[in-house]
Amino acid sequence: METTMNENKGQAKEKVVLAYSGGLDTSVCLKWLQVEKGFDVIAVCGNVGQDESDLAAIKQKALDMGAIASFAVDMREEYANEFLTLALAANGLYENSYPLLSALSRPLLSKHMVEVAHALGAHYIAHGCTGKGNDQVRFETSIKALDPTLEIVAPVREWDLHCREEEIEWAKAHGVPVAATKKSPYSIDDNLWGRAIECGVLEDPWAEPPADIWTLTADAADAPDHAEYVEIGFEQGVPCSLNGEDMSFVDIVKALNVKAGAHGVGRLDMVENRLVGVKSRECYEVPAAKVLIDAHKALETLCLDGATQHYKLGVEQQWATAVYQGMWFSPLKMALDSFCATTQKYVTGTVKMKLYKGSCTVAGRKSPYSLYDFNLASYGADDMFNHESAKGFIDLYGLPVTTWSAMQGPAANAALQAEQTADEAAAANAA
């Protein structure tokens, strides 16, 4: 952890720890907390894999704006090893699409803000989330779970700045340097797991995303005309090698963001259901997450028994929903973590992925713990499956529906109709 502190002269003020990214919202928040609330602000910027070249400038910007302390915390290894590993074990995709990149980083950032608050004697924590977004829930539920005594300040929910354009004007009036303009009002969040882009023209679900929002991924039309194959090694569900070279999870993610991104893999344009009840159009770039989740799923098809694999599909959706809704530090989510962890014991092996023109497809998979038996699966001369057993199996397997049909279903109805027809015929003959 790196920190820089300004001298705090004059009367002591209440301290607030601010989740600070250096963007429009948090920059305005920093100054607003000083001007409108009279706080001494402590800025915390977490490096979870965003553009590292900006971190020093972000830390200094907070100090230049009057923060009494500014922290730059390298969270990348912790993020990968303690958060992304759990996400991968659960194949975490909210609404079967979104890899939860923002939802995964918020509890980690919250954890570090609570630690800073404890270390510096702050009783308040602030964030720059809007009143109709998901992140406010993720920050606040995480903070409450870790220390319910801390009070939360949410400037965006309090101030009378009703749009990003008004924020920009307020920032200019108070000497706050911001990069956003009225012509490019995008809100961007990025980390190792990808980029999230919203606002501006993207708020119209009919409008095609402008080309300039994409920075991690090439347009599929402009991607190389040849496919690239990558081999990803897993050890108990965790990526451990790329193309035969042992690498850390962090380095694998970085490499795949570049490789897969160059082939246009990982663009998402979706309308998702926010926790607060509104639908939101979101664009994401998730090249590494896309490749790794697809590869992990493919390896699980080899290594998990059918019943566990099928049951896990429901667990994955529960897990993703819990994380999306800010319940990282909840009993349910931790219980789901435990279930997923038990399923990963034998998820070891290698998956070959084909990257081409925006697509990511499984080209091969192998594992020393594979449950795939060639001699049982084959239809060729090596077939060892006992076909004669099938009839008895089907008879027993189908016994419940056979019984139902005879007593309550189609067979019973047919018998009843036949009986009624016979009775009607007998009555007609008697007449």
Residues annotated as part of the active site? 25, 106, 135, 187
Q: Rounded to 5 degrees, what angle do the CA atoms 341, 343, 348 make? A: 100
Count the alpha carbons within 13 Å of 264 in the hemisphere toward its beta carbon: 15
100: left (phi over 0), alpha (psi -120 to 50) or beta: left
According to DSSP, the β-strands at 187-191 and 151-153 are unpaired
Q: Report the DSSP beta bridge partners of residue 43.
A: 18, 70
Give the Cα separation of 304 and 339 in Å (integer).
Answer: 13
Tokens 């992304």 sit at which residue?
A: 84
Structure token digits, residue 92: 């975490």
Residue type, 413: N
Give the Cα separation of 332 and 352 in Å (integer).
Answer: 34
Q: Strands of 194-198's sheet, edge to edge?
A: 187-191, 194-198, 279-285, 267-273
Q: Rounded to 5 degrees, what angle do the CA atoms 359, 363, 368 make? A: 140
Q: Report the DSSP beta bridge partners of residue 271.
A: 281
E strand or H helix that includes residue 72: strand 69-74
Q: Is 428 helix (H, G, I), strand (E, B) or coil?
A: helix
Furthest C-alpha separation in the chain: 114
Residue type, 91: N
Give the Cα separation of 202 and 197 in Å (integer).
Answer: 8
CB-CB neighbours of 224 under 10 Å? 13
Phi, psi (5° rounding) for residue 364?
175, 155
Identify whether the C-beta of residue 240 lies closer than 8 Å to the C-beta of residue 81: no
Residue type, 256: L
Count the alpha carbons within 13 Å of 2 in the hemisphere toward its beta carbon: 10
Q: Strands of 359-366's sheet, edge to edge?
A: 245-246, 238-242, 228-235, 349-356, 359-366
Q: Rounded to 5 degrees, what angle do the CA atoms 40, 41, 42 make? A: 125
Give the Cα separation of 76 and 49 in Å (integer).
Answer: 6
